[in-house]
């Protein structure tokens, strides 16, 4: 790269030549984040060309209609999770209590708060950097560092209206098939769900069983046949499947369940 200004078109061309499929959108995003600072733009472009996630480079992403800060080292919320976040918000009563387990940057919790500004929303996360990122995103979310429901105030047990989780759910042996940049950059603990992908999620189901009030809802992202594999755990926690979230290809993306009355 030389020292002159970079136009949007040449930036997009460069990104396309380097294999970025959404080159036009990425060029626009980089230019917006650089805000006219040519040196910064070049630094950001160099980082992006290594495969570093765009939201880490620009500092933010759009998720389910809201702008979120995503700090380097923190899992990038996926647009495919948007419907689950919106479903969780829709099920949360106006002045209810919602919990987002494994919150990462705070994405699902932030959507709940945006749609239910009078509700109490709490979030937990085991990674310190992600907790800091979720707190920096604001939205008046109470962020607790620790394992699943363990750090939450004890008085919440049996009183929560909505529990949502996007846990790591990729089976360990399938991590190798994820895109190179995801494997290289994104935190392993955000992706690897153990032998069958459900090591964290099974415990999240138990946590939801403890937290939810009768009639409360638990929503989780998952894939493949993980719904069948989770059926026994859901039944043990008193959770009945009331809806299935599927993508445009008809593939299962998540479950909405309800705690027995």
Ligand X SMILES: C[S@@+](CC[C@H](N)C(=O)[O-])C[C@H]1O[C@@H](n2cnc3c(N)ncnc32)[C@H](O)[C@@H]1O
- List residues binding ligand X (CB under 6 A): 75, 77, 81, 102-105, 107-108, 124-127, 130, 147-148, 166-168, 189-190, 200
Nearer residue to ligand X within complex by CB, 24 or 206: 206
Q: Which is nearer to ligand X, 83 or 238 (CB)?
A: 83
CB of 199 to ligand X, least distance (A): 9
Question: Per the structure block, which two tokens stand in for 203?
Answer: 């415990």
Q: 97 or 220, CB closer to ligand X? A: 220
Closer CB to ligand X, 26 or 100, in the complex = 100
Residue among 29 and 125 whose Cβ is closer to ligand X: 125
Q: Which is nearer to ligand X, 105 or 137 (CB)?
A: 105
Q: Hey, how many other C-beta atoms are within 10 angstroms of the C-beta on 233?
A: 18
Q: How far is the CB of 31 from ligand X (least distance, A)?
A: 25
Residue nearest to ligand X (CB): 104
Query: What minimum distance in Å lies between the beta carbon of 124 and ligand X?
Result: 5
Smallest separation (angstroms) from ligand X to the CB of 176: 17
Min separation Cβ 115 and ligand X, Å: 16
Query: In the bound complex, what is the minimum distance in angstroms from residue 242's beta carbon to ligand X?
Result: 21
């Amino acid at each position: 790269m030389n020292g002159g200004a970079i136009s949007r078109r040449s930036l997009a061309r460069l990104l396309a030549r380097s294999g970025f499929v959404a080159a036009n959108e990425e060029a626009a995003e980089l230019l917006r984040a650089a805000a006219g600072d040519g040196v910064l733009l070049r630094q950001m472009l160099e980082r992006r060309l290594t495969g570093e996630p765009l939201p880490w480079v620009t500092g933010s992403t759009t998720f389910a209609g809201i702008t979120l800060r995503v700090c380097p080292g923190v899992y990038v919320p996926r647009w495919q999770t948007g419907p689950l976040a919106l479903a969780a918000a829709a099920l949360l009563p106006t002045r209810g209590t919602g919990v987002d387990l494994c919150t990462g940057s705070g994405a699902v919790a932030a959507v709940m708060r945006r749609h239910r500004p009078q509700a109490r929303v709490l979030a937990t996360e085991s990674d310190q950097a992600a907790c800091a990122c979720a707190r920096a995103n604001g939205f008046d979310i109470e962020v607790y560092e620790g394992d699943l429901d363990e750090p939450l105030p004890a008085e919440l047990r049996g009183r929560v209206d909505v529990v949502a989780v996007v846990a790591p759910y990729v089976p360990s042996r399938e991590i190798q098939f994820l895109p190179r940049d995801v494997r290289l950059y994104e935190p392993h603990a955000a992706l690897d769900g153990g032998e069958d992908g459900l090591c964290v999620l099974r415990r999240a189901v138990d946590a939801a069983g403890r937290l939810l009030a009768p009639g409360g809802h638990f929503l989780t992202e998952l894939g493949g046949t993980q719904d069948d594999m989770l059926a026994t755990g859901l039944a043990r926690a008193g959770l009945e499947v009331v809806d299935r979230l599927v993508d445009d290809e008809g593939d299962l993306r998540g479950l909405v369940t309800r705690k027995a009355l």
